[in-house]
Amino acid sequence: MERTLIIVKPDGVQRGLIGEIITRFERRGMRIAALKMIQITPELAERHYAVHKGKPFYPGLINYITSGPVVVMVLEGNGAIEVARQTMGATRPAEAAPGTIRADFGLEVGRNLVHGSDGPETAAVEVALFFTEAELLSYSRDTDRWIFE
């Protein structure tokens, strides 16, 4: 099973979309391995977005992700990273496919509701930033046999 980190960003939390966003991933068949609400510190934000340091949008990105509580979760499933990214939609909501989280609820790239890991290596690093090994649960659901071959 592949794992990916998902963050419901401050706009998603403030707009009361946590449940809707989680539901979309669960309806796809993804399993929640970890879940919590936190306030991201500037130090954690800088580590999480280190790849963007020096880019013009970096300061705004750090200010935004630390502006309010977020929900962080680890999802798992076959092809979890790609499935999550398809469920979220394109980074720019105007370019996202209808039926995706960003197309249905977003208007601007700076308020696109949700973050998801973009690859296996990134996912491993991001999951470790937000969760300890003890916080990651492995379990099976009775419905898994109807979702996974």
Do residues 42 and 48 touch, judged by C-beta distance below 8 A?
no
- Residues serving a catalytic function are 115
Three-state DSSP at 115 gives: strand
> For residue 3, what are its two tokens?
């794992």
pLDDT score recorded for residue 8: 98
Among 67, 61, 57, 34, which residue's Cα sits nearest to residue 48? 61
pLDDT averaged over 10-residue windows placed end to end, the chain, 149 residues: 97 98 97 98 97 94 97 97 98 96 95 97 98 96 90
- Give phi and psi for 91, each to the nearest 5: -55, -40
Flag whether the pTM goes above 0.75. Answer: yes
Beta-carbon contacts of residue 61 (< 8 Å; ≥ 6 apart)? 45, 49, 52
pLDDT score recorded for residue 6: 98
Rounded to whole angstroms, how far apart are CA atoms 78 and 54? 35
> For residue 99, what are its two tokens?
């039926």
DSSP codes joined into one string, 8-75: E-HHHHHTT-HHHHHHHHHHTT-EEEEEEEE---HHHHHHHTGGGTTSTTHHHHHHHHTSS-EEEEEE
Domains of the chain: 2-139 (3.30.70.141)
Enumerate the β-bridge partners of residue 34.
Answer: 74
Rounded to whole angstroms, how far apart are CA atoms 51 and 131? 20
- Give phi and psi for 110, each to the nearest 5: -75, -5
